Structures are given as C-alpha cells and as structure tokens.
Structure 1
Amino acid sequence: MKNKLYLFLFVFFPMLMLAQERQSVQGRVVSDYIGVDDLLIINNTAETETRTDSYGNFSIKARTGDLLVLSSHKIEQKKIRYTPDLIKNGILIINVKMALTELEEVVVYKNNNLTPEALGLVPNGQKQYTQAERKVFTATDGIDGIVNAITGRTKMLKKAAEFEKKSSLMEKIDYIYTEEEIMEEFKIPEEYVRGFVFYIVEDAEFAKAMKAKNNTMAKFLMQDLAVEYLQKLHDGK
C-alpha cells in the first residue's frame, strides 16, 4: 500500500507542481485592430511587468488566476484574470479602448470660425486627400501636368497612392492574423503567406469588408480567396 502511495506521489506531484508554475504567455494588445505600443503590462499577482513593442506584442509569465493590469496614459486601464482558455491560436489578444484626452475649455465665438472653408481658401465640402493623393493632383495640374504626362511621373504617383491604401489594409490584416494563424486556418504554406496577403488585398469585396470592419464577411471572403490562391499555386507548378 505504501509503495503505491509513493508511486502516486512520485508521478503526480511533479505534474501538480508544473501546473502551478508560471508559463511564458505571448500576447498582443490592440485597439481597433491596431497594435498599441509602449504599454505597461503588470502581473499584479507575481509582481512582474513588461511593455508592448512597436506592434503591440508582449511576453510575460503567468498562470491561472494571475491578475494582469494594462496601464498607460494612452488607454483606459484594463484588468483581466488570466486563464489558459483566453489563448487563441497560441496568442493572447487583449482589446483596449484608447483614452480620451481632456482639453482645457476653449471659448469659440461665431466670428472666429477660422476654417479654410470659412476663409474662402477651399470650396465647401472639398474632398480631403492623403499625402500620396495630393501628389497625384499636383502632378496632373497645369504645366506640371503636361510635363509629368510626358515623363510618366503621374502614372508612378497614382501607383504610389494605390500602394498606400493597400499597405494600410495589409497592416490591418497583420494585426488581426499572425502568419501561424493564416497557415493553420486557411491552409496556406509558410513560404506563401505574404503572397496570400498581397493577393487578398487586391480583392475589392474583401477591401470593402475590411474598411467597414465587418470581420465576419472578411473572414468568409478570405476562405474563398484562400481556395482560389491555392488553386493558382497548383496550376502554376
């Protein structure tokens, strides 16, 4: 009987101790799909801390029941009680709300409406352009437009403006999915993951769903696009 008890303790006691040890947790802090950098993350139970990198990623040791506190002047403070089931596809995603900056009281008089439109500098309701789009407009206007039409600079700038939009969309995809998640969920080989991301940002319906923050539709479209992409890879071999 004693031998069985010793055997039980010998086998299960190390397992019990291992379960109580803190494991390294990989995580990412996001707000509206964008990573939040330089954010302090405190394991209040273990009295340890770390900070997020420029992409919102972090690593901290934790075990079931540990209280994690997220703090920064940039966000509303958030606390979570860690459990392993919070991990999805090997990563702990924590969504936070950006803090509203309280401004000092400003008194605005009716005759002080000094907007560009009120001053007559631009027409009412004029479309606002990105930096790349403004370069395209300048390149097609007046004498510059004639010269640039000959040199092909306008065409280059239009491509730059389009690339700017697609780069922004690719950043959103990178914040939502890791390469490992794309490989596992959409069955994309590791060496073709970046190519798949380039492929899906070209799809107008997918871009529209992402812009509308319709993640359900975006994921549905990604599944169809993954099938198309894999078929193209197969046909190209």
Structure 2
Amino acid sequence: MLTPKKTFEFCIFLYFVFTLSSCFGQEKTIKLNGKVQSISNDVLFVLIVNKNSKKSTITDSLGQFTIEVKLKDSLRFTAVQYQTKEISITSKIFLEKLLVVDLVDNVINLNEVTVTPYNLTGKIDLDIERLAIAPSVTSSVLGLPNADVEKMSQSERLLIEADRGKYMRFYVIALTINTHKILNKLSGRTDRMKGMVARDKNMEIEKEIIAKFSKKTMSESFKIPEEKIDGFLTFCLSQTDFSELSKATNTEEIWEYLKLKSIAFKEQGFIKKE
C-alpha cells in the first residue's frame, strides 16, 4: 500500500511526464499540404504566412501549397481579391497534415448609380427596337484568319515564351546559339512552366469531375464524409496518374478511378476510423 508521501511523489512524476510529452509534441514540425479554393476568383499567388515561424509560401495555379507548421501555429491567408483569413493549427489538422481553406471574396460596395442616357422604359423588347443595337463585331463575324483558334492559358503562353526556338541554328558561315532557351532550361524556369501547364490541365479535369458527380454522391458512394471530399480531390490531384483521366472516353472510367483512389485515401489514414 502506497504511503501519502509515495502517492504524492508518483503524482509529481506523472505531471512531469505529461508536461514533457506536451512540450515535445508542440515542438515537432511537419510539412502541411493544403489547398485554397474559391467559387468565383483565381486561387493563384495567395500568400500564406506562418505568423509564429515567419515562414511563407504562395499557392500554385490549383490553389495548392506546402508549408512547415507546428501545433498551435497560426497561418494567415492574404490576397487582394479575398478577405484576410487566419487559421490555427489544431491537433486534428496537425495529425491529418491536410488543410482545405475556403476564402471569401473581398467585395467593395459602391453607391448605387442609375444611368439612363437613352430614356429607357425598362421593357426589354421596346428598348431594343428603339436603340437599334448593331450586332457585336468579332473576329469570327469578320471572318478573320485564326478566328476560331482556341485561346491558350497563361501557363501555356509562358511555356512557349520560355522554350521557343531551337537550342542552336546552323547557317552557312555561322552558328547561332539560343541563349534565352538555354538559360530558361538551366534555371529550371522551363520545367516550372511545364509543371504549371500540367496543373492547369489537372484543374480542368477536377472541374469536370465536380460537374459530373456531386460531392454528396461521392461522399455516399465512397463512404467519405462530405466535408472531406475537397481533401479527397486534392489527394487525387497529387497522384502521378491523375492526368491520364484526360484520356478517359466515358464517365464510367473516371468513376472507377475515383473509386480506386478513395480506397487508398482511407487506407492512408486521412479519415479517422470510428
């Protein structure tokens, strides 16, 4: 039987054990993978700052980012088009190593202004006849060359600019070296542009997936909580074979891919077992 003194010493020992464990846990640093998302705006170049360590990073064209954090650190998300948001690293976020952040548009309210230069009645059919609006003049209407060529994304244009031309050109009496292309290749800029183009294509695939299957449908079918579906899609985007979905010929192929990845998502512990 323990004496009061022994009991007191044992309690003191347990106190120090738990205190030290807590301290070590808070000092541990992990790499947190995350994704910033918004319904209406671009998610590229959102600034994320760890207010505790002062380290920072920015999101890529998909809104994805990676940053080092400790338990109870505070992350601040800022961009001109969004309201600033701060998130504390809770035990749940720390253990899952995954964070999905919804940002709210930074709407600037202006005073209402009413302009009626043509004495409009408010009745669309009458106003159109009175205004005699001419058809829009576009390159397609004018029949200009290349009018129907598909527009390239910013990433694709940057890649063409970085990787244009051949490395060397031989002429009759001279050799011309494409230093622009070589420097872009050596500095890694060309590879970064290729990565951005690939991410843009993956983002288009993700949009198609969300358009085809609702989050509720995926949640119920794959047994993944609906609030975890964004994290699941982020997990799919990180897979090396995700871009292969662009070659899928039917909806069934895409569904089977998602079903297979949902198993891996749960096996890797992104969802806590009840």
TM-score, normalised to structure 2, is 0.43
Q: Name the larger-Rg structure.
A: 2
